[in-house]
Amino acid sequence: MMIEGGQDEVPPLPSGERVAAKRPGEGASPTHPTKRKAGATARARELRFDETKAEYRLWGELQGRHLNGYKFVRQVPLGPFFADFLCREKSLIVEIDGSQHAESLTDESRTTWLNRNGYSVLRFWNQEVLAERRAVLDTILAVLEGQIHSPSPGLRFAPATLSPTGRGEGER
């Protein structure tokens, strides 16, 4: 049955109640890391508004393709997490960490999840960004251009274990 405006009407249930029609895939939990969860966009906006001084300074260097033409976005929801900065073209996440992240088991499992979903993760301390911004930018650029591709101690750089195409490393 069609109603004015061209939308399908859901027939009433025997009790007279109506059920909202669902689009394909609607109502299911996100299966892909880029599927948005309810409230994720609002939370990302809050994180962008409440940025740290280090995030503010680094964003000034990354926005508008200032780093050799690479495009970055910030506070991007990915699965259950938010990436501080993301270069989608290279599937690189740059995280800026405060002291609360020292020896964090949560960060380790988060990095593992992101790696398995095709993202490489590069981490810096707030103080590194504030005191040595040029070195931080050089390191980010080296990863983007493939000059750094091996994991580093302490998960400072963790390359993806799954390519964005869904194939593991070494599979072609």
Show me where the domains of the chain are located: 40-158
Q: How many helices (H) and strands (E) does the chain have?
A: 5, 5
Contact yes or no for 23/98 (Cβ under 8 A): no
| Beta-carbon contacts of residue 155 (< 8 Å; ≥ 6 apart) | 107, 108, 111, 121, 123
Contact yes or no for 114/41 (Cβ under 8 A): no
Query: What pTM did the predictor assign?
Result: 0.67
In CATH terms, the fold of domain 40-158 is Endonuclease; Chain A (3.40.960)
**Amino acid present at 150:** S
Instruction: Encode the chain (172 residues) as per-residue pLDDT tens digits.
Output: 444 444 444 445 454 444 444 333 334 344 555 555 555 555 445 545 567 899 999 999 999 999 999 999 998 888 888 899 999 999 999 999 876 545 666 888 889 999 999 999 999 999 999 999 999 999 999 999 999 989 987 558 999 986 555 544 444 3
